[in-house]
Amino acid sequence: MLSLLIIGLPVAAVLVTLGLGWRPSTPWVGVVADAIVLTIGFAAALHDVGHRAHSTVGGNLRIDSLSAFMVIVIGIVSLLASWGSVRYLRHEVESQHCTSRHAVQYAALMQSFVATMLLAVLAANIGILWVAVEATTITTTFLVGHRRTRGALEASWKYIVLCSLGIALAFLGTVLVYLAAVHAGGHSIHALDWTWLTTHAHALNPAIMRLAIGLLVLGYGTKVGLVPMHSWLPDAHSQSPAPVSALMSGVLLSVAFYALLRFKVIAVLCLGETYPRVLFVTLAIMSLALSSLLLLSQRDLKRALAYSSTEHMGLLALGAAAGGPLAISGVLLHILGHGLAKGVLFLSSGEIALADGTSDVNEAGGLLARRPALGGAVAVGLAALLGFPPFSLFLSELTMMRGEVANHMAWAVGLSLVALAIAFAGIATIGRRLLLAGPRGQATGLRTPWSAMAPLVLGLSLCALIGTLTWPLVPLLHAAAKLVTS
Amino acid sequence: MNGAEVSLASVAAVMAQVVLCVFGAPLLVGLMRTVRCRLEGRVGPPVVQTWRDVRKLLQKQRTQPERSSIFFTSAPVVLVATTLAIIVFIPMITTRTIFSGGSDLFAIVFLLLAGSMSLALAALDTGTAFGGMGSSRLMAIIALAEPALLVAILAVAAPLHSSSLSVIVVGSLHHSVWIATPQRLLALGAFVIVVLAESGRLPVDNPATHLELTMIHEALMLEYSGPDLAFVVLGESMRFTVLLALLSNLFFPWGISTSLRAPSLVVAVIALVAKVTLLAVAIAAGEVAVAKLRLFRVPELLAGAFVLSVLAVVSSLVIS
Amino acid sequence: MTDHGVIASLLALTSGVVLLGAALALWRRVARGIVNALRVQGLALGATAALLGLQLHNPLLIVTAALLVTVKGYVIPKLFARLIHLDPSSSETEPVINVPASLVASVFLTMVAFVATRPIVDSARSFPVSLVPFGFAAVLIGCFVLVARRKAVSQMVGLLLVDNGIGLVALLLTTGVPMLIELGGTLDVLLVVVVLRVLVTRMHAELGVLDLDALQELHD
């Protein structure tokens, strides 16, 4: 019942939004729904950490520790994004950039997007997971193209074509898994169930599974934005409205990564450690190399943040390749921390765009002097993203590296450090241009309204809080990591 | 079905193949011209016109371009000779010819290629602009058409594990309860395109035009005259007939004789004439409806034929 | 071949046509021709489902066949016809990779598909499963169309080629994944096409043509 309730909330928010039509209060519906989702996620996590999974709807939905953790991540980031959307939508409607009909459409699509992501993490079988991830593509396409500019059109075309292709390949992989499961004695929908697949993994035909896992990693990897299937990502992230970018970068990528984590367990049980590790490591190395190098030459804040997402996904893939409880709990914590930091940064890029009409770091330079509050939030956010303590990304990167060492992948630590150093250089340059340099002689010390700052402050303080007191999360992380380690 | 069965009947069968082809080929080309003319509402020349042309040309004097070499003078003879060799080798009315052991598909394709090559070399040898142009175009076509032909026959041959045409024909006669298997359909498509390209028919080349921008085959024989031209015309028409006979026997093997008994041989001759005539009429009728492809699109068509033939081979591997 | 009976050879034929449709889409330049290739493929897919239904006495598959024929043989080509009407210049005049080269590439891809599916074919050894390479090859050729073609219509066709190939694989391997997933999949494809259709309309309003080369602002 719990999982149905969790998915039902954003769906209800969609209906209410559509029913209300455009009013100043309409965007708040989503905020409320997401806040409740977050609370329920917490409650579920605290209530039965690592005990037993709850299934509903004929066993098609299930909430276990990992799902509960992902619900929390989705809940937090979507709360921030919906909160940010309130200002974005008001501004768009007031400045007549979009009609009130499109504003309602946006709010409804945003909540359907959240609902599909929740469905993906709560799905008990890989079929429903596939349908849900495909549905995220469909709902987000219009969000990406919401600004209706030429660039937005190009980005949404690229996005839907590439992601549909990726997800189609994932479907092929799913079919092959089903074939292997049927050969191993499964029947109908239960042969696609996560737990059935994990318990029967050793009986699955390795030759078929090898092909299937390859296709699944390629397919969901497209959605994660791993190189070489990443080319939609910088375009989509830079052209979408800021709250949408926050949601996509903060959680959509991680939701797809969650699928990879689950498939990896099955792959390890069926094919041994080497094959999935090689797959993950290859994608990780390519992602880290390309994204960190491209970060050096970015001038657009949102594009830079997008490449930084690819880089972080590469780090996650490296951690997942190592496997083992330590590395995996690091990966999960990193998903949360990255979601928060990236969410905050994308939202602030939206504020900058609202104020200055651009996200080019040179044109919007001198932010710290011009808008101290916003500039401060960006500075702190960038520091969090770069993995400075006390933010949780420091802790999670450290944990992943310890896990990698523990699993005989010490070279991966060196690799991550090199990539992090290059990315540091890139992001530091962008930060310096955006915050310090820039056009002189403009008004300084402008105030940023509280309504804009509140979600930013909330996100950053949560990130710092998790980084210092990991208390409520530690048992949850351990239980969740246990689910995806063999 | 081993190759060394020399008997009176087998010699007679081979002679019949040769006579049929040599005398029938110009008639076939004439027939196609007549069909086209009738469909276009014209009367056109009589069917035997090609024969009359050949006879007249044989009586004329031969001219030769200055500084042309033996390549030029030998090409017509090589063309006719290779085509005659193919006629002797391949199963046309019976699968038990004297040389049925030698009817290897690689050998046949090589002989076809040798004929085309000699013409192309001869055209280069003349040193004229049109000759060089024609021969380069012919090479471009052959480079794609010959592999497609080879692979298309291979697709039909693969399930029978033999490259002997006799075995292939007998095999398709016995095994093809269901003619429309994907590999046969694909191979047929490829084969038809190749036949059209090899023999310079529409949509690859228009046999009825001397327009310099588009012609291929006409450009090759521009410098020939008298008996040489007669041989070239005869050789080209024989090639076309042989290809049609090969097509009909590979894909519609009905009627071909697997023995050397007289009644079945007679039936086979009638069946062969009927099949080849039908095919020729169908091609002529088709030519009325299509326009010539632009020259740079021809490689696309032939690459398509190549793809079809490869798909045919893959299909035969998948399905068998 | 002969001992599998007529249905088996017809199945081989329809699966072959699915692959042929993909090759045709690569071969033709004219938008209408490409869409016709897609229609042929959709119909062949429907026929495959129907034949499998007959062979296995499974009425659900007959229903699937009817669905496939209506959606892929009629609705989607119709949609494309309107798009072509919108921009008559949507024929592929200058593909990124020229036609002979892409045809040769498709030959290569077919062989890759043949090799890659070896384990599947070997594992099952039942008849319809041995036809799986056709579906895989169609998928790969569809991916190639996506890379090699720059017109909006061609890219949509490429996506649908991939989808049809996967549909064929799914049908042959498992005689249909569980109905729930199957329905979800079909619905998703339709939605993707509708979304793309909306984007194309926007593209036409914005640019006047349906050419992705006109959209090249975003790059690094």
DSSP codes, C43-59: HHHHHHHHHHHHHHT-H
Q: What is the Cα–Cα distance from A204 to A190, expressed in whole angstroms? A: 14
- Provide, as residue numbers in chain B, all residues whose Cβ is less than 8 Å from the Cβ of C13: 180-182, 185
Q: What is the Cα–Cα distance from A118 to A73, expressed in whole angstroms? A: 10
What percent of chain A stands above pLDDT 70? 98
Task: Identify the pLDDT of residue A308.
Answer: 95
- Provide, as residue numbers in chain C, all residues whose Cβ is less than 8 Å from the Cβ of B151: none
pLDDT tens digits for range A420-457: 999 999 999 999 999 987 666 677 788 888 989 999 99
The arithmetic mean of pLDDT across residues A305-323, rounded, is 94
Give yes or no for C133 touching B (CB within 8 A).
Answer: yes
What percent of chain C stands above pLDDT 70? 89
What percent of chain B stands above pLDDT 70? 92
pLDDT(B225) > 70: yes
- The model carries a pTM of 0.88
Residue A61: enclosing H or E segment and its boundaries?
A: strand A61-63
Task: Identify the pLDDT of residue A335.
Answer: 96
pLDDT tens digits for range A21-45: 898 889 999 999 999 999 999 888 8
Helices (H), B206-261: 217-220, 226-251
What does the buried/exposed string (b/e) look like for A391-425 if buried means 16 or more CB atoms within 10 Å of the residue's CB?
A: bbbbbbbebbbbbbbebebeebbebbeebbebbee
Instruction: Find out whether A306 and A237 touch, Cβ atoms under 8 Å.
Output: yes
- Provide, as residue numbers in chain A, all residues whose Cβ is less than 8 Å from the Cβ of C185: 130-131, 134, 171
pLDDT tens digits for range C162-196: 989 988 888 888 765 666 666 667 777 778 888 88
Mean pLDDT of all residues belonging to chain A: 91
- Which residue in B141, B306, B314, B320 has the most chain C C-beta atoms within 10 A of its own C-beta, making it the best mutation to test that interface? B314
pLDDT(C1) > 60: no
Residue A62: enclosing H or E segment and its boundaries?
A: strand A61-63
pLDDT(C67) > 70: yes
Which residues, at least 6 apart from B129, have a Cβ–Cβ distance to it below 8 Å? none
Mean pLDDT of all residues belonging to chain C: 83
Are the beta carbons of C202 and A153 separated by less than 8 Å?
yes
Task: Identify the pLDDT of residue A328.
Answer: 94
What pairs with residue A62 in β-bridges?
Answer: A55
When pLDDT is cut at 50, 70 and 90, the band that residue B102 belongs to is low
Those of residues 278-307 in B touching chain C at CB distance below 8 A are 299-300, 302-304, 306-307
pLDDT(C161) > 60: yes
Chain A: closest CA distance from residue C66 (Å): 21
CB pairs under 8 A between A and C: 136
Give the torsion through C-alpha atoms of C56, C61, C65, C71, to 10 deg: -160
Q: What is the Cα–Cα distance from B210 to B200, expressed in whole angstroms? A: 13
Mean pLDDT of all residues belonging to chain B: 83
Phi-psi region for residue B202, left (φ > 0), alpha (ψ -120 to 50) or beta? beta
Could you tell me if the ipTM is greater than 0.85? yes
Instruction: Find out whether A264 and A95 touch, Cβ atoms under 8 Å.
Output: no
Task: Identify the pLDDT of residue C175.
Answer: 65
What SS3 state is found at B212? Answer: coil
pLDDT tens digits for range B124-144: 888 888 888 888 888 888 888
CA distances from B132 to A298, B146, B177, B221 (A): 55, 20, 48, 11
Helices (H), chain B: 8-39, 49-58, 70-89, 105-125, 129-157, 165-175, 182-198, 217-220, 226-251, 262-289, 298-319
When pLDDT is cut at 50, 70 and 90, the band that residue C4 belongs to is low
What pairs with residue B164 in β-bridges?
Answer: B104
| DSSP string of A66-90, one letter each residue | HHHHHHHHHHHHHHHHHHHHHHHHH
pLDDT tens digits for range B252-310: 888 887 777 888 888 888 999 999 999 999 998 888 887 777 777 788 888 888 888 98
pLDDT tens digits for range A77-91: 999 999 999 999 999
Touch test C–A: 3 Cβ pairs or more under 8 Å: yes
Which residues, at least 6 apart from C70, have a Cβ–Cβ distance to it below 8 Å? none
Say which residue, B176 or A269, is predicted with more confidence.
A269
pLDDT(B180) > 70: no
Q: What is the Cα–Cα distance from A292 to A296, expressed in whole angstroms? A: 7
When pLDDT is cut at 50, 70 and 90, the band that residue B2 belongs to is very low
What percent of chain A stands above pLDDT 90? 66
Task: Identify the pLDDT of residue A306.
Answer: 95
Instruction: Find out whether B295 and B206 touch, Cβ atoms under 8 Å.
Output: no
Chain B: closest CA distance from residue C187 (Å): 31
Are the beta carbons of C133 and B314 separated by less than 8 Å?
yes
Neighbours of A22 (CB within 10 A): 18
What are the two backbone dihedrals, phi and then psi, of residue A360, each rounded to the nearest 5 degrees? -80, 130
CA A134 from chain centre, in angstroms, equals 15
CA angle B62, B64, B65 (to 5 degrees): 155
Residue B163 DSSP class: -
Most confident of A271-285, B182-196, C147-161: A271-285
pLDDT(B3) > 60: no
Burial environment of residue B108 by CB neighbours within 10 A (0 to 12, 13 to 18, 19 or more): buried
pLDDT(B4) > 60: no
pLDDT tens digits for range C70-129: 888 888 888 888 888 877 776 666 778 888 888 889 989 998 998 888 888 887 767 788
Task: Identify the pLDDT of residue B95.
Answer: 78
Most confident of A105-114, A469-478, B138-147, C12-21: A105-114
